[in-house]
Amino acid sequence: MTGRLSGRRVAALVAHGFEQVELVEPRAALVAEGATVDVVSPEADVVKGWNRMEWGDPVHVGRALDRIHAADYDALLVPGGVMSPDRLRTVPDAVRLTREFADQGKPIAAICHGPSLLIEAGVVRGVTVTSYPSLKTDLTNAGAVWVDRDVVIDRGIVSSRRPADLPAFIRALIAALGDCGAETAAPAAPNPSHRAGNCRWGAPTLLLDAPFWWDAERCPWACVRGTVPHVLDTTEVCRTCVHWTARPPQAPRRELAFTASGV
């Protein structure tokens, strides 16, 4: 299938008891955009989901966890559910794989209880994240900055709280995956009125309350390039319009790396 994610590969890491909708919906959206999604698990052959209050459908395991590396993929998806992340954080290969994605600067998308695996991998210190509320203390103790928001993107980690946040989570994951490993192409000339909170598609905006890096030199929008300072303390960024690049070496660690296309 041809799409904006054609050629991208995503590893969806799950164990028995993953929240079914948190795998099925992101996988369907990624495949619709042309990506390949492999279900990766320590379980053999089939892994069983959890559907609200009861066991869900079995899902075929595409790749054995102990045989893959982050170099094989462009992004890591970690669905939630209480049981699956709790099991994965005790599996050395799951922890190893998560660290590899973080070390290589590849997007990691974790929802609900999924960030508990990121705690075990030691990749959340200094990162702003969200999660199911019961993980707030654990994430804070691991050095993360926890916020109560439908989706947060910081240093390549995309996080959300619960199934109700899936639309925002999926949009953020697709945006991150679409730009990873590629230069941001300059789009057509924008409407000069484009500013934070005024997306040309009318898409909802995402509030980022930590400073982030705006790569003004590479930004294709003249209306932004000439008026927006390189570092903004607070802004609203359209989830659809924003594209990110690798964080410049000179940028402070807490700052996010983005180029803007349409805000």
pLDDT of residue 255: 32
pLDDT of residue 204: 34
pLDDT of residue 257: 36
Cβ-contact 73, 8 below 8 angstroms: no
Active-site amino acid positions: 112-113
Task: Average pLDDT across each block of 10 residues of the chain; the chain has 263 residues. List them in order.
Answer: 86 97 97 97 95 91 95 97 96 98 95 98 96 97 96 94 96 86 36 33 34 36 32 33 36 35 33
pLDDT of residue 63: 95
Instruction: Report CA 23 to chain centroid distance, whole Å.
Output: 13
Q: Which of 145, 127, 155, 168 is nearest to 22 (CA)?
A: 168
pLDDT of residue 247: 35
pLDDT of residue 39: 98
pLDDT of residue 53: 84
Domain boundaries, the chain: 9-179, 184-263
Q: Amino acid identity, residue 168?
A: A
pLDDT of residue 260: 35
Cβ-contact 143, 122 below 8 angstroms: no
pLDDT of residue 43: 95
CATH T-level assignment (fold) for domain 9-179:
Rossmann fold (3.40.50)
What is d(CA 224, CA 81) in angstroms, rounded to the nearest whole number?
41
The whole model's pTM is what?
0.71
pLDDT of residue 180: 60
